Structure formats: C-alpha cells, structure tokens
Amino acid sequence: MGRYLLRRLLQLIPVFIGTTFFIFVLVWAVPGDPFAGKCGDRRCPDAYVDFMTDKYKLDQNIFVQYGSYMKNLLQGDFGETFGGRSINEIVVNAYPNTLKLALVALAVEALIGLTAGVLTGLKRNGFLDNLVLVSTLFLIALPTFVTGFVLQWLLGVKWGIAPVTVSSDVSFTELLVPGFVLGSTSMAYIARLARTSIAENRRGDYVRTAIAKGLPMRRVVGVHLLRNSMIPVITFLGTDLGALMGGSVVTEGIFNINGIGREVFRAIITKEGATVVSIVVILVLVYLLMNLLIDLLYAALDPRIRYE
C-alpha cells in the first residue's frame, strides 16, 4: 500500500509536467498581442513594448519561458500580470470561493442525485421513476446558463426567497442556489448512474442471501446493496470535483461570484497568459489528486481490489 502510494505519487510528476506544458503552449499559441489596446487609443510606445517583452521573456523560446515559469512555480511564485498584480493574490482570492461553490454543488448532487437514484433503482417504472427520468433528462438537456438565470429570476427576484447574487463573504447558504445550478447536470447523471447500479445489484445473489437471513429491508438496502452499488457513483463524484471547479465560469458569472472561472475568463480576454496557466495548473493538481483519492477509495469499498 505504501509502495503503491509512492509509485502513484511519482507518476504524478510526468503527468503534471506534460499537462502544464501543453497548457502553456496552448495559451501562448493563441494569436493576438498582449500589448494591443493596453495604451488606450494609441499604439503602445516601442520602449514600453520592448521593456515588457524583455521582462516577461516573450521573445524567448517557449521552452525557456516554460522553464522559467516552472522554476518560479516550484518556489511558490506564480508571477505577475502585465499590470504588475501578483498572480498569487488572484489565486488566493479566487480559489477558495470556487472550491466552496464546487463543494456545495458536489453535496447537492450527491444528496439529491443519490437519493433519487436509490429510490428509483429500488422501484422501477413507478411514478417516481418516471418523474426522475424525465426531470433528469430535462436537466441534462438544459444548458447551465438557462437553469442559472431561470432559478435566479424565480427564487431571487420573483419570490425573493434566495439572494439574487452572492455577496463578497461568499457564505455557504448564499451558495445553495448557485451550487444547485452548477451541480444540476451532474446530479442528473448521478441519479441515473445510481439508479442503474442499484437496479443491477438489486437482483444480486448476495442481496437475496441478505433477505433470506431475515434482515430488515432497511439493512439489506442500506448496508448490503448500497455498499456494492456505490463504486461507479464514487468514481463519478470524485472526478466531478475538478470538472465542477473548471466548469464554474457561467455560474460564477450569473451569480457574481469572485471565483477562478471569472478570473480565467478575464485573463483569456486580456491575454494574461501567466494567470491562465497558473489557475489551470492548480486545477490539474486537483484532478490528479482526486483521481488518486478515488483509486484509494476503491480498495476501501471493494476489498477484492488490491494494490500490488
């Protein structure tokens, strides 16, 4: 187990370098001039452009640029924007908000999605089952910005039972509606995944054994059936955290949350390459670590899985 963990952690290094380099190249491959429009109506003076180009090593080979970026990164320095603002500051301000939003979304989808999935998986073709199937299809089909604006208008403006936008303290209660919006599509997938998994395992021989032992139905489902049906759901939930954080641009825009989605969007528009790369690099890390965590969770859920 310890050796497995070490090996997995070592494997993270090449993956991390590869993905970050790819992102780095992509960001700088986008055509455009970071200093176009920087100086109002006029072209920027050549002296300014030369100075900035030199300062940010923009005339250097991409490998050299990447190398120097990574060198600073390993020392905990994300660099500066062209305006001279510390990217570390942007990251520290924006990340916790997005993480909170993503966690609320994750909680919402796990709670509602799982409950709906388990209930419908146990009793298929009933009214509830059809209701869930139709409503999940609806959620999957609707783009996030539609769900977002509709709920914002309905709950926030019309009925006034939820804040219209999120304040700067970003409390968890304020994030309930945005979290629901962000997690709605995944919630629909979780419900369907759990439904299939439960329905499949419901007919399992070991469930029959548990019933034959005279255990109460609550225990048969809650202990024997659920544990076996959870593996695909856990996988989905784990990888979804990264997807939620990366996919929060629209939701953050609608509810005015100061998170990484907004920062990254702004940085792409203004060609702040270093900011884009920095934010994405952390996302990559989140993905990698969540994947590792899921793989470790498998063994806890299913003892037949062993790490050599």
Partner 1 sequence: MSDILVSERSEPGADGSGRPSGRLLEVDDLRVEFRTRDGVAKVINGVTYHVDAGETLAVLGESGSGKSVTAQTIMGILDTPPGFVTGGQVRFHGKDMLTMSAEERRRIRGEGIAMIFQDALSALNPVFTVGFQIAEQFRIRRGMSRSDAKKRSIEMLDLVKIPNAKGRFNAYPHQFSGGMRQRAMIAMSLALDPEVLIADEPTTALDVTVQAQIMDLLAELQRERQMGLILITHDLGVVADVADRIAVMYAGRIVEEADVHELYEKPGHPYTLGLLNSIPRIDEKGQQLRTIKGLPPSLLNIPSGCPFHPRCPMVQPVCREKVPPLLQLGGTRASACHFAEEVVNRD
- Provide the binding-site residues for partner 1, judged by CB under 8 A: 203-206, 208-216, 219, 224, 227-228, 301-304
Query: What tokens appear for 185 in the block?
Result: 């599509």
**Taking the mean position of all CA atoms in its chain, how far away is CA 40?**
37
**CB of 206 vs partner 1, minimal distance in Å:** 4
The C-alpha atoms of residue 130 and residue 234 are separated, in whole angstroms, by: 24
Task: Tell me how far, at minimum, the Cβ of 110 lies from partner 1, in Å.
Answer: 20
Least Å from the CB of residue 136 to partner 1: 24
Give the residue with the Cβ less far from partner 1, 208 or 266. 208
Phi, psi for 123 (deg, rounded to 5): -130, 90
**What tokens were used for 111?**
């709670």
The CB-of-216 to partner 1 minimum distance in angstroms stands at 7
Nearer to partner 1, 158 or 218 (CB): 218
Residue with Cβ nearer partner 1 (37 or 204): 204
Minimum CB–partner distance for residue 125 and partner 1 (Å): 9
Which residue, 85 or 219, has its beta carbon nearer to partner 1?
219
Separation CA 287–CA 293 (nearest Å): 10
Least distance from partner 1 to the Cβ atom of residue 3, Å? 21
User: Do residues 252 and 262 make contact, with C-beta atoms less than 8 angstroms apart?
Assistant: yes
Q: In this complex, which beta carbon is closest to partner 1, that of residue 96 or of residue 204?
A: 204
Burial class (CB in 10 A: 0-12, 13-18, 19+), 96: middle
The residues near 288 (Cβ < 8 Å, ≥ 6 apart) are 12, 15, 16
Residues 6+ apart with CB under 8 A from 6: none
- The amino acid that residue 298 corresponds to is Y
Tell me phi and psi for residue 170, to 5 degrees: 50, 65
Nearer to partner 1, 176 or 301 (CB): 301
In whole angstroms, how close is the CB of 239 to partner 1 at the nearest point? 22
Three-state SS across 63-114?
HHHHHHHHHHHHCCCCCECCCCCEHHHHHHHHHHHHHHHHHHHHHHHHHHHH
Which lies closer to partner 1 via its Cβ, residue 219 or residue 266? 219
